[in-house]
Amino acid sequence: MKGFILFTLLSVIFVSDYAFAQDCPCDTTELSNGTTGNDIVELLCPGGSLSGDAFFELSENFVFIVSDDDTMGYEVEIFPEVGVCTIGQEGSGDPNNEVARKLTLEQAANCRASLIERCRLNSTPIPTLSEWGLIAMAGVLGIIGLLVAVRRRRAAV
């Protein structure tokens, strides 16, 4: 029984979402200069986060990542009956270095989910506090704690 629990814990730790991810045909598609979709994603999202010189658009049926200077991009779009992915990169000597592939709806959904996950894209920002917000919150909580301590001391007297 202990072995099963240990195996379960280790599998939870070491099995990631990538182990179950479906491959996207656009990731292995090559442009005329030999650049693949994976290469473009790695350039636009190094280390799994969107680079500073790239931006994205995200909706229910559309995800698009492009560099600020518009030299490379990766797009997945889902239409009612078919999906399409497009990759492109300029600067290779071929001004029309762009490849579009038709996909099934399942492949397009997998490509969209994969791109969102690989670049950690989300359409709503996560609320956080800045450094000064944390300092102010710590001060307010300290004052409240001090007031509670003073009240308890007065009640005990």
Query: What is the share, in percent, of the chain residues with pLDDT greater than 70?
Result: 80
| Angle at alpha carbon of residue 44, lines to 47 and 51, rounded to 5° | 65
Residue 127, judged by CB atoms within 10 A of its CB (0-12, 13-18, 19+), counts as: exposed
CA 39 to chain centre: 16
Higher pLDDT, 92 or 151: 151
CA distances from 44 to 48, 66, 115, 141, 156 (A): 9, 7, 11, 42, 63
Supply the pLDDT for residue 61: 87
pLDDT, residue 4, reads 66
91 residue type, one letter: G
Measured distance CA(89)–CA(75) in Å, rounded? 12
pLDDT of residue 15: 53
Predicted local distance difference test score (pLDDT) of residue 92: 52
Residue 95's pLDDT is: 59
Please report the pLDDT score of residue 135 as a whole number.
Answer: 93
Nearest to 85 by CA among 33, 21, 32, 40: 40
Residue 113 has pLDDT above 60, yes or no: yes
pLDDT at 147 over 90: yes
Alpha carbon distance 60, 68 (integer Å)? 23
pLDDT band at 6 (very low <50, low <70, confident <90, very high): low
Tens digit of pLDDT for each residue in 10-52?
565 555 444 445 578 888 888 888 888 888 889 898 888 888 8
| pLDDT tens for each residue of 77-93 | 998 889 999 998 876 55
